[in-house]
């Protein structure tokens, strides 16, 4: 009997435990769940009702360490690597499970070539690449990049995030109603000039092609065997620096992603004006000038009074010059008109890499595009701050008060046409470079060169634009 009673007792206890497991609540559980936190609050001042171990976000334990590579160009006169390494340290402090390995590689074309070489060789590309905004069509056609709409939709800001970008920079991030890139180090073509030299000669900043030619002619000085030129206008990467000339004459060098206008009379006239600055006015060296890298130093040293260059060189120039540095868009052909064109690179997230790397890449892109970092990057490089909210930061407002040229580079965008962005960009752009340099070197007339460039470019576009 004792054994039977013991068995019945054990069965009863087992039934109680089963009922409890199915959702029943005992008096002891109720007391422990409500009273213990209250006692902790009384003793520590903590008003939270949740135990300390529950404060960690539920997803955190599942975040496995991930390493991503980010490819950057460093083609302007600014300490890009040091600045970005500082941002990476900040990012990794906020996201300790993400390791960022930066790879700094020449210019934009070098970055794109390095990525293409990696992919063609069967390797895994970096998670993020900073490449020309105008490389969009080539990158999509090669299936190298992914659209970013879903990532943007998941941000706290949503559409407000994109609304905060300057339209001139964001517009060429789209194709086929999808967002493919995020503006990063963006620039504009501007003229830098020695304002002290202009003032000493009694010359005002130019307001037309004629006053521009007259000014740089007057500021060209022969000193023995040395010529201090009025103008340096690099033509070793000509399409970008040339575009504002064409726009100022009345026509850009393309219409859309399938149509170039190389043989437009306004484009031909703009090429002739470039040639005349040397041939007629004697205001700059003749022929193709491979001077992009040295022009800022030549301006700072007094070897030239004016250069055509990128707004991204502003900080480097300010650190070199001992005179007032003037900044302005190109004067247009007609009096009181001006022209510029945007430039620079965007963030692209690569295709055919693990999902966790793409997710980590987006976190990095979103982090670097915060207004405080956009402002800081602009201040330290001269690139134009590409978000409106960056101009509301205390740092940017203080900087503009001290360096008004920073606002002048942004304001040049008021006169900007679209940068050359077209299907089969590499070949079509290369054709233009070839023939405009032939015209500049006197091998062909401007009209003949552009007629040939138009015909060859239309043939190069045929397979991409049926």
Q: How confident is the model at residue 59 (pLDDT cuts 50, 70, 90)?
A: very low
Tell me the average pLDDT across 247-265: 97
Q: Under CATH, which architecture does the 189-341+419-461 domain have?
A: 3-Layer(aba) Sandwich (3.40)
The CATH code of the domain at 63-187+343-415 is 3.40.190.10
Please tell me the predicted confidence (pLDDT) of residue 224.
87
Whole-number Å distance between alpha carbons of 382 and 398: 15
pLDDT at 44: 34
169-204 b/e (C-beta count within 10 Å ≥ 16 → b): bbebbebeeebbbbbbbbbbbbbbbbbbbbeeeebe
Which tens digit of pLDDT belongs to each residue from 219-255? Answer: 999 988 889 999 999 998 789 999 999 999 999 999 9
**Burial (CB count within 10 angstroms: exposed 0-12, middle 13-18, buried 19+), residue 343:** buried
Q: Would you state the pLDDT for residue 5?
A: 38
Q: Which segments of the chain belong to CATH 3.40.190.10?
A: 63-187+343-415, 189-341+419-461
Average confidence (pLDDT) over 337-344: 96
Q: What percent of the chain has pLDDT over 90?
A: 77
> Is 462's pLDDT higher than 70?
yes
pLDDT of residue 50 exceeding 50, the answer is no
Give residue-wise pLDDT tens across range 180-199: 999 999 999 999 999 999 99
Q: What is the Cα–Cα distance from 273 to 371, expressed in whole angstroms?
A: 41
The two three-digit tokens of residue 150, written as one number: 């879903």
Task: Give the pLDDT of residue 252.
Answer: 97
CB-based contact 105:114 (threshold 8 Å): yes
384 backbone dihedrals φ, ψ, rounded to 5°? -80, 130
Task: Output the pLDDT for position 386.
Answer: 95
Of 11-15, 23-27, 117-121, which has the strongest mean pLDDT?
117-121
> pTM to 2 decimals?
0.78
pLDDT digits (tens, 9 = 90+) for 310-334: 998 898 899 999 999 999 999 999 9
Q: Is a pLDDT exceeding 90 seen at residue 36?
A: no
Per-residue confidence band for 382, with pLDDT thresholds at 50, 70 and 90: confident
Q: Tokens 């998670």 identify what position? A: 127
Per residue in 83-105, pLDDT tens?
999 999 999 999 999 999 999 98
């Amino acid at each position: 009997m004792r054994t039977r009673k013991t068995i019945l007792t054990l069965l009863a206890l087992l039934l109680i435990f089963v009922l409890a497991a199915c959702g029943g609540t005992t008096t002891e559980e109720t007391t422990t769940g409500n009273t213990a936190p209250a006692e902790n609050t009384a003793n520590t001042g903590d008003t939270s009702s949740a135990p300390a171990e529950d404060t960690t976000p539920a997803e955190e334990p599942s975040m496995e360490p991930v390493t991503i590579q980010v490819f950057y160009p460093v083609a302007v006169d600014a300490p890009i690597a040091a600045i970005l390494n500082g941002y990476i340290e900040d990012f990794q402090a906020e996201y300790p499970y993400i390791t960022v390995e930066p790879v700094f590689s020449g210019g934009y074309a070098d970055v794109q070539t390095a990525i293409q070489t990696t992919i063609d060789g069967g390797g895994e590309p970096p998670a993020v690449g900073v490449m020309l905004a105008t490389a969009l069509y080539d990158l999509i056609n090669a299936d190298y990049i992914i659209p970013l709409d879903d990532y943007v939709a998941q941000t706290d800001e949503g559409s407000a995030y994109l609304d905060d970008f300057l339209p001139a920079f964001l517009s060429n991030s789209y194709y086929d109603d999808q967002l493919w890139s995020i503006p990063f180090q963006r620039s504009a073509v501007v003229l830098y000039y020695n304002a002290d030299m202009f003032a000493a000669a009694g010359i005002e900043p130019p307001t037309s092609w004629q006053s521009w030619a007259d000014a740089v002619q007057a500021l060209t000085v022969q000193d023995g065997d040395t010529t201090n030129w009025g103008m340096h206008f690099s033509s070793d990467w000509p399409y970008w620096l040339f575009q504002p000339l064409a726009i100022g004459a009345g026509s850009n060098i393309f219409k859309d992603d399938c149509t170039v206008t190389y043989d437009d009379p306004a484009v031909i006239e703009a090429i002739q004006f470039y040639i005349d600055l040397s041939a007629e006015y004697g205001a700059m060296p003749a022929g193709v000038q491979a001077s992009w890298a040295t022009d800022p130093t030549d301006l700072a040293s007094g070897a030239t009074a004016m250069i055509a260059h990128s707004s991204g060189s502003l900080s480097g120039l300010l650190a070199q010059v001992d005179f007032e540095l003037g900044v302005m868009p190109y004067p247009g052909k007609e009096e009181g008109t001006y022209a510029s064109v945007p430039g620079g690179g965007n963030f692209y997230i690569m295709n055919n890499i693990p999902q966790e790397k793409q997710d980590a890449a987006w976190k990095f892109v979103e982090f670097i595009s915060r207004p405080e970092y956009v402002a800081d990057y602009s201040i330290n490089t001269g690139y134009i701050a590409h978000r409106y909210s960056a101009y509301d930061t205390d740092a940017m407002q203080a900087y503009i008060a001290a360096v008004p040229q920073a606002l002048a580079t942004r304001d040049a965008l008021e006169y900007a046409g679209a940068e050359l962005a077209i299907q089969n960009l590499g070949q079509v752009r290369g054709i233009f470079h070839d023939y405009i340099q032939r015209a500049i070197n006197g091998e062909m007339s401007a009209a003949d060169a552009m007629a040939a460039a138009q015909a060859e470019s239309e043939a190069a576009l045929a397979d991409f634009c049926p």
